[in-house]
Amino acid sequence: MALPSLARIPAPPDPILGLTEAFRSDPRPGRINLSAGVFVDETGKTPVLATVVEAERRILAKGATKLYRPIDGDAAYRAAVQAYVFGEGHELATSATVAVSQTPGGTGGLRVAADFLRQAGASATIWMSEPTWPNHPQLFQLAGFRTRTYPYTDPSGRRIDEDALLAALGEASPGDVVLLHGSCHNPTGVDPSPALWRAIGDLVEERRLLPLVDFAYQGFGDGIREDADWMEGLLRPGAELLVSTSFSKNFALYNERVGALLLVARSAKDASAAQSHVKIAIRANYSNPPSHGADIVSTILGDPELRAAWEVELAGMRARIKDNRARLVEALVERGIPGDWAPIAHQRGMFALLGLAVEQVARLREEHAVYVVGKGRINVAGFTSATFAPFADALAAVLAG
Ligand code: LMR
């Protein structure tokens, strides 16, 4: 006996990336992939941004070295990310009370946060929204957390059930970790209002909870600063929290795995002590981060002209997603498909939740070659002009029974 017996039983495929694999091997013409959160242009391709191509040219021209980077990443990248996330002029944009680590994507940032917290003796309980990104529960459970959930939307799936959310978080014990989606909630596309962020901030303060903000879609909702509206509610004097950010989507750097963990402490001394533990979590996981994606991001963010050009590209992606939302609602309403679709046009980010039964999702895939996640999460950024009608027809057929 060598391998453990569980390893002899196949595990289920990943609920998101497993669908992309299945989609790739589906031979049916006209198949539609709305599973993983990936932006596509009108031709159905995910292009490399022009500013990324230019940054790569500059990086190559400088002459390369493949030396190790520091455990917590390149200093220029860390400073650029801090200013980008909090916004130029914000007191935390340059403050030594923030410790930043370069991580392999947002998922890497979350895992480093989880390991750091468990290692440093944080509460073993983390609260997450129901529903949430399907990778959240397994990521935190495998790091040794017990997961609890707080209700998010009401049964319509279109509005946040504020009372239920606050009541559930009111049961959290001091020190418990609360996982919040900074913007573009995955999977619902519905974000808290500024007033709800303030109420969550009051509760966090009152019950001495530790927020961990998953901020993977900054700039994909309403704008770089607009999507950071959670900060007003949560960033209070003396508040401590963690933020995991990702550049997979807003720089279209999906396979470069580039992100960061930002730790906001009460003092510079606390930030530096905490960072020494974060570095142990990183060293024990993957030693030190890959450099290419981070070099691209710091080259773009560090050059005013390139940054301005990137913001135009980002605005273009955001506008396309908003347009897709409107066109999707139009296609669903036009067919008289029963359901409350109009709010989808005003939601934030890549995702919308259709609220389907698991069998309906399976029928979409098996009978219509339409790939959606879980209970009908769709990647709105995955449509082209050619796919709204076949998607809406397939949905109509499945909902008709
Ligand atoms: C998603 O939710 O589709 C994306 O965040 C991609 C992923 O890693 O799951």
Please report the pLDDT score of residue 401 as a whole number: 80
Same domain, 87 and 202: yes
What is the count of structural domains for the chain? Answer: 2
Q: Do 82 and 120 sit in the same domain of this protein?
A: yes
C-beta separation of 249 from 217 below 8 A: yes
Instruction: Provide mean pLDDT across the span 15-22.
Output: 93
pLDDT digits (tens, 9 = 90+) for 254-270: 999 999 999 999 999 99
- Tell me the best of 16, 249, 371 to mutate to test the pocket of ligand 1, counting ligand atoms within 8 Å of each CB and taking the most: 16
Task: Check whether 64 has a pLDDT greater than 80.
Answer: no
162 assigned to some structural domain: yes
| Predicted pLDDT at 199 | 98
What pLDDT is attached to residue 209? 97
CB 223 within 8 A of CB 202: no
CB within 6 Å of ligand 1 — which residues?
Answer: 16, 36-37, 133, 135, 186
Ligand 1, residues 39, 135, 184: which to mutate, most atoms within 8 A of Cβ?
A: 135
Q: How far is CA 292 from the centre of its chain?
A: 21
Confirm whether 340 is a catalytic residue: no
194 shares its domain with 341? no
Single-letter code of the amino acid located at 329: V
* pLDDT tens digits along 229-251: 999 999 999 899 999 999 999 99
Among 127, 230, 249, 310, which one carries the catalytic annotation?
249
Percent of the chain clearing pLDDT 70 (strictly above)? 100
Question: Is there a contact between 207 and 172 (Cβ–Cβ < 8 Å)?
Answer: yes
How far apart are the C-alpha atoms of 72 and 149, rounded to whole Å? Answer: 31
What lies within 8 Å, CB to CB, of 13 at 6+ separation is 19, 21, 22
Mean per-residue pLDDT over the chain, rounded: 96
Q: Is residue 285 part of a domain?
A: yes
Whether residue 241 lies inside any domain: the answer is yes
pLDDT at 157: 86
CATH of the domain at 155: 3.40.640.10
Q: Is 249 an annotated catalytic residue?
A: yes
List the one residue out of 277, 201, 274, 213 whose CA is nearest residue 238: 201
Give yes or no: 62 in active site.
no
Q: Checking DSSP bridges between strand 32-33 and strand 370-371, what pairing results, if any?
A: parallel
CATH value at residue 388: 3.90.1150.10
Where does a domain end: 262, 278, 305? 305
The whole-angstrom separation of Cα 150 and Cα 276 is 32
pLDDT at 1 over 90: no
State the distance from the centre of ligand 1 to the C-alpha of 212, rounded, in angstroms: 18
Q: What pLDDT, in 10s, does the model give residues 163-203?
A: 999 999 999 999 999 999 999 999 999 999 999 999 999 99
Is residue 42 assigned to a domain?
Answer: yes
Q: Using alpha carbons, select from 375, 314, 333, 347 the residue that is nearest to residue 51.
A: 314
Q: How far apart are CA 274 and CA 247, in angstroms?
A: 24
Q: Is the pLDDT of residue 387 over 80?
A: yes
Q: Are residues 68 and 83 in the same domain?
A: yes
**Dist. CA 72 → ligand 1 center (Å):** 24
Q: From ligand 1's centre to the CA of 16, what distance in Å? A: 7
Q: How far apart are CA 366 and CA 16, in angstroms?
A: 16
Please check whether residues 23 and 114 belong to one and the same domain.
Answer: no
Best probe residue, ligand 1, of 133, 253, 257, 371 (max atoms within 8 Å of C-beta): 133
Domain that holds residue 335: 11-47+316-399
In a domain, 2, yes or no: no
